C-alpha cells in the first residue's frame, strides 16, 4: 500500500467503554484483510510511563518486548493482533513534554517561544507518524486515552484535527460513545452521544465513524437518528452491544461491515470478507467447552478488575485450548493464612501465585504455597510468586526459618532472594527494573521444557530481585531444582519441584506473551496439569 493510513479512536460520554477493545477489534479486521496493522495508545497523564503507578490507579502494568512499561491496552492489542508492540506504541503527555523540553534545552528552538501549538502538537504528530514511516505499517490505529472534553487530552485532540486536515482521506476518526437505556422510561437515550459529537466538532473534528456502546440491541431507528444528528453516514454508525467475551467484538463489528465502511472511505479496494479461521475456531472451542477447570489466583489486588488482566486472559486462553471453561477463583493474599488455606483452597484444581511488590499479603502467598506443595496441587508462581516459592521452601524444607527476600527484610540471615547486582546503584524508580525480553535456557526433562517443547525461550521481565545462587546447591539437594537460567548471566529464571505433579516458578512473566491464536505454552501446560489433577 502506498501511503500509511491513520485511524484515531476517541471516546465520549463516559470512560471505561472499551476503546482499547474497539481499537484492537478494528485492527484485527483490517489485519485479516492482509494489511500490516499496529495500534498505539496516547495517555494524557504526566507520568512518563505507568511503571510507577500502582494497580489501584491504573490496573496492570504491561511490559513490551523492548522493555517498556506500558498501558494495559497494549496487552489487548497484542492478544488480538498477535504482533508485538514496542515503546513507540504507548506515549504519555509526560513523554511528549520531556522530549520537547529536552530539545528546548539543547537549543533546537533557539529564539522561539515554545508553545503547546505548534511544538507539543508537532511532537504528538511526529510520534503518530513515526510508526507509519519507520516501521512501514499500512494502518496505524491510535487510541486517545481519556474522554473528549478532558483538559488533559486537548493537545492530542488538536493534533488529530491537524492531521485530519493534512492527511485528508488517509486519516479518519472513529468516535466511541455510550447509549444508555432508561429502564423506567423504557427508552434508549441518544442525547449524550449527540453532545459528545458536538464537543468533538467544537474542537474541529468531524468523526467519520461512530461506535455506540450499548447494553441492549439498538433498533435501526436509533442508529439512523444518531447519524442524522451527528453528520455521519447511516452505515457509519455501528453498535457494540455487550457480548459474553471481548473476543467476539471483532465479529460484532464485522457483521455491521465496519471495516468495509472504513476501507471505502479511505478509497481502498474492499475485496472478499476474510474468514478469520483461527479466530473463529478459538471462539467455537470456547462455546463447545462444557466441563470446567477451577483455578485459584492468589494476590493482593484481586478485588481490582484489571490488576491481573494479562494473567486472567492467559488462563482463559489456556483453558479454552484445553477444551475447558475457566472457573477462576480469586483469593486475597491478606486473608489467607496457615489456618484457613486448606479449607479455602481445597476445591482448586490448580493454584497461581501472582506477581507483586512489597510485604503486604506475602504471608498469605506462603500459606497457599505450603498448601499446594503439601497437597501436590499444580502450582504456577510468577515473578514475586516464584520468589515466594523459594522463600517458603527455604523456611519449611531447608529449615532457614527467617529466610526472606531483601525486598521484604533487608537484614534477614538467609537472603535467598536478593537485589540483583546491576540494581544496587539504581536510585531512580522509573523504568529502571530489569525489563523486557531476555533469553532463558531450559533443562531437558523439566516440566517447563516439556511445556515449551524447546530449550531456548524468550520471555519478558519486570523485577529488581533474583534467586540468590549462593543457595542453589542447597535447594537442589533438597529437591527444588533450578531448571531455567539466563545464558549470559546465569540468573535463575525457573525453579521446579520434580517430585510433585506440576510445581513451577518463573522469574519472568509468561502472561505478557499469550495471544488468542498463540496461547502461552506454560499456561497451557499448567492448566492441563490442573485438569489432570481433578
**Known binding-site positions for CTP:** 15, 150-152, 189-194, 225
CB nearer to ligand GLN: give 387 or 525. 387
Helix (H, G, I), strand (E, B) or coil at 399: coil
Total residues contacting ligand GLN (rule CB under 6 A)?
10
Single residue of 43, 407, 485, 493 touching ligand GLN by CB under 6 A: 407
Residues contributing to the annotated binding site = 15-21, 56, 73, 143, 150-152, 189-194, 225, 243, 356, 384-387, 407, 464
- The CA distance from 131 to 137, in Å, is 7
Under the binding rule (CB under 6 A), the answer on residue 369 touching ligand GLN is no
Q: How would you write 3-46 as a 3-class SS string?
A: CCEEEEEEECCCCCCCHHHHHHHHHHHHHHCCCCEEEEEEECCC
Residue 355 phi, psi (nearest 5): -70, 175
We find the least distance from the C-beta atom of residue 257 to ligand GLN, in angstroms, to be: 42
Under the binding rule (CB under 6 A), the answer on residue 406 touching ligand GLN is no
- The CA distance from 267 to 273, in Å, is 17
CB nearer to ligand GLN: give 67 or 356. 356
The answer to whether 332 is a known catalytic residue is no
We find the least distance from the C-beta atom of residue 361 to ligand GLN, in angstroms, to be: 12
Helix (H, G, I), strand (E, B) or coil at 446: coil
Under the binding rule (CB under 6 A), the answer on residue 125 touching ligand GLN is no
- The CA distance from 424 to 225, in Å, is 62
- The CA distance from 197 to 236, in Å, is 14
Residue 507 phi, psi (nearest 5): -70, -25
Cβ neighbours of residue 168 under 8 Å, at least 6 residues apart?
Answer: none
- The CA distance from 133 to 3, in Å, is 9
Rule CB under 6 A: which of 464-503 touch ligand GLN?
Answer: 464-465
CB nearer to ligand GLN: give 44 or 356. 356
Under the binding rule (CB under 6 A), the answer on residue 365 touching ligand GLN is no
We find the least distance from the C-beta atom of residue 517 to ligand GLN, in angstroms, to be: 26
Per the DSSP assignment, residues forming a β-bridge with 326 are 293
Rule CB under 6 A: which of 193-232 touch ligand GLN?
Answer: none
We find the least distance from the C-beta atom of residue 385 to ligand GLN, in angstroms, to be: 7
Single residue of 357, 406, 412, 478 touching ligand GLN by CB under 6 A: 357
Residues contributing to the annotated binding site for Mg(2+) = 73, 143
Q: Are 172 and 209 in contact (CB under 8 A)?
A: yes
Rule CB under 6 A: which of 252-281 touch ligand GLN?
Answer: none
We find the least distance from the C-beta atom of residue 464 to ligand GLN, in angstroms, to be: 4
CB nearer to ligand GLN: give 122 or 363. 363
User: CA nearest 9: which of 76, 66, 61?
Assistant: 76
CB nearer to ligand GLN: give 356 or 521. 356
Stretch that binds ligand GLN, among 13-21, 50-58, 342-350, 460-468 (CB under 6 A): 460-468
Half-sphere exposure of 337 (CA within 13 A, CB side): 4
First to last CA, the chain: 52
We find the least distance from the C-beta atom of residue 200 to ligand GLN, in angstroms, to be: 39
- The CA distance from 370 to 353, in Å, is 12
Stretch that binds ligand GLN, among 145-153, 353-361, 388-396, 475-483 (CB under 6 A): 353-361
- The CA distance from 71 to 212, in Å, is 24
CA torsion 249-254-260-263 (nearest 10°) is 30
Residue 383 to residues 312, 417, 499, 510, Cα–Cα distance (Å): 16, 11, 22, 10
**Catalytic residue (choose from 61, 230, 383, 388):** 383
Under the binding rule (CB under 6 A), the answer on residue 392 touching ligand GLN is no
- The CA distance from 211 to 26, in Å, is 11
The cell for 382 is 510468577
Stretch that binds ligand GLN, among 10-18, 186-194, 307-315, 350-358 (CB under 6 A): 350-358
Single residue of 37, 311, 383, 435 touching ligand GLN by CB under 6 A: 383
We find the least distance from the C-beta atom of residue 439 to ligand GLN, in angstroms, to be: 19
CB nearer to ligand GLN: give 19 or 463. 463
Stretch that binds ligand GLN, among 146-154, 201-209, 272-280, 462-470 (CB under 6 A): 462-470
8-state DSSP, 204: T
We find the least distance from the C-beta atom of residue 359 to ligand GLN, in angstroms, to be: 10
**Catalytic residue (choose from 58, 76, 175, 509):** 509
CB nearer to ligand GLN: give 147 or 314. 314
CB nearer to ligand GLN: give 65 or 260. 65
Single residue of 79, 309, 463, 481 touching ligand GLN by CB under 6 A: 463
Under the binding rule (CB under 6 A), the answer on residue 356 touching ligand GLN is yes
The answer to whether 195 is a known catalytic residue is no
Q: How would you write 459-506 as a 3-class SS string?
A: EEEEECEEECHHHHHHHHHHCCEEEEECCCCCCEEEEECCCCCCEEEE
User: CA nearest 139: which of 126, 153, 148, 128?
Assistant: 128
Residues contributing to the annotated binding site for ATP = 16-21, 73, 243
Under the binding rule (CB under 6 A), the answer on residue 384 touching ligand GLN is yes
CB nearer to ligand GLN: give 318 or 383. 383
The answer to whether 509 is a known catalytic residue is yes
Give rounded-to-5 percent helix, strand, coil for the chain.
40, 20, 35
- The CA distance from 501 to 83, in Å, is 33
Neighbours of 111 (CB within 10 A): 5
Classify the C-alpha dihedral 246-250-255-257 as positive or negative: positive
Residues with a catalytic annotation lie at 383, 509, 511
Residue ranges that bind ligand GLN, judged by CB under 6 A: 355-357, 383-384, 407, 462-465
Amino acid at each position: 500500500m502506498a501511503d500509511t493510513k491513520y485511524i484515531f479512536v476517541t471516546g465520549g460520554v463516559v470512560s471505561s467503554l472499551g476503546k482499547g477493545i474497539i481499537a484492537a477489534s478494528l485492527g484485527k479486521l483490517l489485519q485479516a484483510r492482509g494489511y500490516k496493522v499496529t495500534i498505539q495508545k496516547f495517555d494524557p497523564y504526566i507520568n512518563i510511563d505507568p511503571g510507577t503507578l500502582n494497580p489501584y490507579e491504573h490496573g496492570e502494568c504491561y511490559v513490551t518486548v523492548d522493555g517498556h512499561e506500558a498501558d494495559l491496552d497494549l496487552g489487548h492489542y497484542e492478544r488480538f493482533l498477535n504482533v508485538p508492540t514496542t515503546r513507540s506504541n504507548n506515549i504519555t503527555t509526560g513523554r511528549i513534554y520531556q522530549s520537547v523540553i529536552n530539545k528546548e534545552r539543547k537549543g533546537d528552538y533557539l529564539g522561539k517561544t515554545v508553545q503547546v501549538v505548534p511544538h507539543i502538537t508537532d511532537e504528538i504528530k511526529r510520534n503518530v507518524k513515526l510508526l507509519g514511516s519507520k516501521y512501514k505499517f499500512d494502518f496505524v490505529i491510535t487510541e486517545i486515552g481519556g474522554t473528549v472534553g478532558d483538559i488533559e487530552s486537548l493537545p492530542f485532540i488538536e493534533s488529530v484535527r491537524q492531521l485530519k486536515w493534512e492527511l485528508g482521506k488517509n486519516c479518519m476518526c472513529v468516535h466511541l460513545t455510550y447509549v444508555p437505556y432508561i429502564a423506567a422510561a423504557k427508552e434508549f437515550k441518544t442525547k449524550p452521544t449527540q453532545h459528545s459529537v458536538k464537543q468533538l466538532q467544537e474542537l474541529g473534528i468531524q468523526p467519520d465513524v461512530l461506535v455506540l456502546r450499548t447494553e441492549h440491541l439498538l433498533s435501526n431507528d436509533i442508529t439512523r437518528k444518531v447519524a442524522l444528528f451527528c453528520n455521519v453516514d447511516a452505515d457509519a454508525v455501528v453498535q457494540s452491544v455487550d457480548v459474553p467475551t471481548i473476543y467476539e467484538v471483532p465479529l460484532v463489528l464485522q457483521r455491521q461491515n465496519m471495516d468495509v465502511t472504513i476501507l471505502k472511505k479511505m478509497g481502498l479496494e474492499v475485496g472478499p470478507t476474510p474468514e478469520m479461521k483461527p479466530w473463529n475456531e478459538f471462539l467455537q472451542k470456547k462455546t463447545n467447552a462444557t466441563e470446567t477447570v477451577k483455578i485459584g489466583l492468589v494476590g493482593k489486588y484481586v478485588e481490582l478488575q484489571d490488576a491481573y488482566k494479562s494473567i486472567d486472559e492467559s488462563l482463559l486462553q489456556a483453558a479454552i485450548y484445553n477444551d475447558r471453561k475457566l472457573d477462576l477463583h480469586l483469593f486475597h493474599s491478606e486473608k489467607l493464612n496457615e489456618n484457613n488455606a486448606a479449607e479455602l483452597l481445597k476445591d482448586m484444581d490448580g493454584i497461581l501465585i501472582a506477581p507483586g511488590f512489597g510485604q503486604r499479603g506475602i504471608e498469605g502467598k506462603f500459606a497457599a504455597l505450603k498448601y499446594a506443595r503439601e497437597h501436590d496441587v499444580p502450582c504456577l508462581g510468577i515473578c514475586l510468586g516464584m520468589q515466594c516459592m523459594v522463600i517458603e521452601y527455604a523456611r519449611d524444607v531447608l529449615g532457614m526459618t527467617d529466610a526472606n527476600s531483601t525486598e521484604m527484610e533487608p537484614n534477614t540471615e538467609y537472603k535467598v532472594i536478593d537485589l540483583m547486582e546491576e540494581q544496587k546503584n539504581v536510585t531512580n524508580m522509573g523504568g529502571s527494573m530489569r525489563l523486557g525480553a531476555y533469553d532463558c535456557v531450559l533443562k531437558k526433562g523439566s516440566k517447563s521444557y516439556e511445556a515449551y517443547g524447546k530449550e531456548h525461550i524468550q520471555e519478558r521481565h519486570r523485577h529488581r530481585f533474583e534467586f540468590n545462587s549462593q543457595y542453589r546447591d542447597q535447594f537442589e539437594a533438597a529437591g527444588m531444582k533450578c531448571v531455567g537460567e539466563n545464558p549470559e548471566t546465569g540468573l535463575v529464571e525457573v525453579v521446579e519441584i520434580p517430585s510433585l505433579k506440576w510445581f513451577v516458578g518463573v522469574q519472568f512473566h509468561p502472561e505478557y506473551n499469550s495471544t488468542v491464536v498463540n496461547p502461552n505454552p506454560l499456561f497451557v501446560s499448567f492448566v492441563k496439569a490442573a485438569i489432570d489433577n481433578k
